[in-house]
Every structure is written in structure tokens, then in C-alpha cells.
Homo-oligomer: A and B are copies of this chain.
Amino acid sequence: MIRHTVSFSLKHPKGSPEEEEFLNATLILKDIPGVQHFERLIQTSKKNKYHYGLSMEFSDRKAYDHYNSHPIHTTFLQRYWIPWVADFLETDYEPFHQ
């Protein structure tokens, strides 16, 4: 399992129509085959500068690679992510097996 998450902030302010449009637009990523447990999140720690989060899980690296190169994903990046996101940090978690 790979849990792919990204913390981010938008160029548009909280409560703006663009915030709503962006967060709604992320939902299309759920349609990419292999995406599991898709979540839209609000980042609330005061020790962290980002305002939002997305989280999804893939069963393996192949499914993750398929997501990354899928046209739905690449179109979303061009239309929304690149122009509207001010800053972000990607984090990928895999289970620790001792």
C-alpha cells in the first residue's frame, strides 16, 4: 500500500469561489482507476503552513504510476494545480514492516 498525500495552499483565499471550484475539481481524481480512499482534508496544525490536504491510496507502485500518467491527472495539473496552487508538499507513506 502506498498512501499518497499532498499538503497545499491556494493562491485564492479561504471562502472564495475559486477555493470551492478547486476543491470540487479534485474529485475527478477519484475516477482514475486504482485510486482508493480518496479524501479531501483541511490542515489544522498551527505548526504547519499548508491549509489543505489530499490523500489517496494505491495498492502498489504500478497503480501509482498509472495515476501519475493518467490524462485525468495530467489535465487536472494543467488546468487547476499548476496555476492555482501557491505552495505544496508531497508525502508518500508506506507501511513499516519490521
Per-residue B-contact encoding for A31-51, CB less than 8 Å = 1, 0 else = 000000001111111011010
Inter-chain contact B91/A48, CB cutoff 8 Å:
yes
Interface residues of chain A, those whose CB is within 8 Å of chain B, are 2-4, 7, 20, 23-24, 39-45, 47-48, 50, 52-53, 55, 89-96, 98
A15 to B: closest C-beta gap in Å: 12
CB within 8 A of A20: which of B48, B91, B98?
A: B98
CB distance from A60 to the nearest CB of B (A): 12
Bound: A64/B45 CA distance, A: 12
Q: Which residues of B contact A24 (CB under 8 A)?
A: 98
* 13 new A-B contacts at CB < 8 Å, known A41-B95, A44-B93, A48-B89: A2-B44, A3-B41, A23-B96, A39-B95, A39-B96, A40-B95, A40-B96, A41-B93, A42-B94, A45-B90, A45-B91, A47-B89, A50-B91
